Amino acid sequence: MKKTKISEFIPLIFLIIIWEIVGRIGFISKGLFPPFSEVLIIAFSFIKNGILIENFLKSFIRVLIGFFLGSLLGIFTGIIMGWNKYIERSLSPIISILYPIPALGWLPILMLWIGINELLPITIIFICSFFPICYNTICGIRSVDKNYIRVARTLGASKIRILRTIVFPLALPNIFTGLRLEAGMAWRVIIAAEMVAIPTGIGALMMKAESLIRMDIIILCLLILSIMTFLFEKFFVYLESKTTKWKLK
């Protein structure tokens, strides 16, 4: 994986300085545009009293479970659909109909079916992850050059062995593209779902802050969303670099 250079942080540091100066000059009321230092202060105080940790963990666990289950089933379904054209033909119309529906579009139905409990955000994240990852996996499996399969056949490999040792590893770059994009998307969706329908988590905290006109808390929540999206995406970039070493050679 490419090492991050210190120079890459310079624009970020510059932005924070500008933010701090503009916040302090008083052009805009501090209530509407708090300086960076005040956001940091509220962050520390929320960490200290446990509010931030509690809400963050709620969102984090929902994303983790929903995303894990969604990607696992997405990869599995994608593999069997990409590998077997009969299964692909049977399931493809269903996937094609359901895939374009935005994850949040499911919210009203799921609220009525499941109710407002922990299962609701997990299900939303599951749906948000499943379809794109399934689609990317199908594309990945299909994009493997058929000649590699022919070579493996002449070498005496069984179908399962070909799938396990040739097709799946060669489809990994595509699968990781799906995982990387959806890992970030899962965070965006959970925040939106919590804002609309779930009373706990970072999204809900943000909505409470809005009703109290606490811009510092809203910005803090947005920063957490941004950092988590970034970290999740980076995690999959790292994982991809470890599992597809051959691509970097």
Q: Which is nearer to other proteins, 170 or 218 (CB)?
A: 170
Q: Which helix (H) or strand (E) holds 1?
A: none
Residue list 135-154, contact with other proteins (CB under 8 A): 145, 147-148, 150-154
Site track 153-192 with other proteins (rule: CB under 8 A), x = hit: xxxxxx--x---xx--xx----------------------
Q: Which is nearer to other proteins, 61 or 166 (CB)?
A: 166
Outline where the chain has alpha helix (H): 10-25, 36-49, 51-83, 85-98, 107-114, 119-142, 146-154, 159-162, 168-196, 202-211, 215-243, 245-248
Q: What angle do CA 63, 229, 214 make, to 5 degrees?
A: 90
CB of 152 to other proteins, least distance (A): 7
CB of 146 to other proteins, least distance (A): 10
Task: For residues 40 and 216, give the distance between their C-alpha atoms in angstroms, rounded to a whole number.
Answer: 9
CB of 171 to other proteins, least distance (A): 10
CA atoms within 13 A on the CB side of 128: 31
Residue 249 touching other proteins (CB under 8 A): yes
The single-letter DSSP state of residue 157 is -
Residues that bind other proteins in the complex, under the rule CB under 8 A: 145, 147-148, 150-158, 161, 165-166, 169-170, 244-247, 249
